[in-house]
Amino acid sequence: MTVAGGSTRDPYAPLPGLRIALDGAVLRLTLDRPDKRNALDDVMVAGLIDALDAAGRDERVRAIVLAGAGDHFCGGADIVARNAGGSDAPRPRVGSIQRRVPSLAHRLVPLVLSVQVPVVCRVQGWAAGIGFHLALASDFTVAASDARFWEPFAERGFTPDSAATWLLPRLAGMVRARELLLLGRRLHAAEAVDWGLIHAAVQADSLDAEVEALVDRLASGPTVALGLTKWLLRSGQTTPLDAHLQDEALALELSSRSEDFREGLAAFREKRPPGFKGR
């Protein structure tokens, strides 16, 4: 399969630190560096970008799961490894961060927000920095009740990235965003639910069952309508009402031409559950 940029690498092939599997209609993306709390390096971020980009065009994919192996979801970006060059390592040119970030972390979060299939995030342990932001950007995040969310930037002496200052004020409000970003408050899973940041907090021994039940429901849903609804919810944050109503009319036109729409009507007439095919 050809991916963005003309590469012929299979976007669903696993990479160091990242497991990728197409499981029926579900694309499973699992961060797999448990000894580093699944901290993201550039290879992992690029692999997530390729997989999400491909999934947006792959009609087999009807839901996506983001998860982390081991005790934690994601401890953030691996800034230690990125800055571990020895004394003989060449000093990066001025502006190296500004050049690198737009093609990596700053592509990843918008893809999670915009890919037109539902994204479910499974969180255990810590979700920090970009790990927190992936949870915020996902359509549904289900966390173990003992999970923790944290913005480490102020404590480390640098500024937020990967959409922290865009997502948090919109989801939690400016006052709470300041508390998280300027004071570095650690947030318990139940608090994250109360603040409207994640979907649910469940007992750790129920986490897998709760996630899979949600994924199964989404993956068997009317994929075209769900994807268009996701697009409308996101675009409506910045679109004036008149323009947004035009977008709603367009989405209604497209969804009403889908096979799943016809199946939904037939199921209603016949008083039975619909059997959506995602088409």
Confidence band, pLDDT 50/70/90 cuts, at residue 3 = very low
> 65 and 201 share a domain?
yes
> 247 and 192 share a domain?
no
> 136 and 253 share a domain?
no
Per-residue pLDDT, 94: 61
Selected residue with higher pLDDT from 14 and 105: 14
Q: How many domains does the chain have?
A: 2
Interatomic CA distance for residues 251 and 205, integer angstroms: 39
> 256 and 210 share a domain?
no
What range defines the domain where residue 234 resides? 223-269
Instruction: State the average pLDDT over residues 236-251.
Output: 95
User: Are 76 and 130 within 8 A, CB to CB?
Assistant: yes
Q: Give the residue from 33, 45, 101 showing the smallest Cα distance to 71.
A: 33
User: For residue range 175-189, what is the model confidence (pLDDT) as tens digits?
Assistant: 999 999 999 999 999
> 194 and 248 share a domain?
no
Per-residue pLDDT, 55: 97
With 50 as the cut, is the pLDDT of residue 2 above it?
Answer: no
Confidence band, pLDDT 50/70/90 cuts, at residue 248 = very high
Q: Give the residue from 122, 95, 104, 127 showing the smallest Cα distance to 52.
A: 104
> 131 and 243 share a domain?
no
With 60 as the cut, is the pLDDT of residue 95 above it?
Answer: no
Per-residue pLDDT, 207: 98
Instruction: State the average pLDDT over residues 255-271.
Output: 96
Confidence band, pLDDT 50/70/90 cuts, at residue 76 = very high
User: For residue range 190-206, what is the model confidence (pLDDT) as tens digits?
Assistant: 999 999 999 999 999 99
With 70 as the cut, is the pLDDT of residue 60 above it?
Answer: yes
Confidence band, pLDDT 50/70/90 cuts, at residue 133 = very high
With 90 as the cut, is the pLDDT of residue 9 above it?
Answer: no
User: Are 104 and 45 within 8 A, CB to CB?
Assistant: yes
> 129 and 183 share a domain?
yes
Could you tell me the CA-to-CA distances from 29 to 67, 73, 121, 130, 206 in Å, in that order?
Answer: 6, 12, 10, 15, 20
Global confidence as pTM: 0.90
DSSP assignment of the chain: ---GGG--S-TTS-BTTEEEEEETTEEEEEE--GGGTT-B-HHHHHHHHHHHHHHTT-TT--EEEEEESTT-SB--B-HHHHT---TTSPPPPTTHHHHHGGGTHHHHHHHHHH-SS-EEEEE-SEEETHHHHHHHHSSEEEEETT-EEE--HHHHTS---TTHHHHHHHHH-HHHHHHHHTS---EEHHHHHHTTSSSEEE-GGGHHHHHHHHHHHHHTS-HHHHHHHHHHHHHTTTS-HHHHHHHHHHHHHHHTTSHHHHHHHHHHHTTS-------
CATH number of domain containing 200 = 3.90.226.10
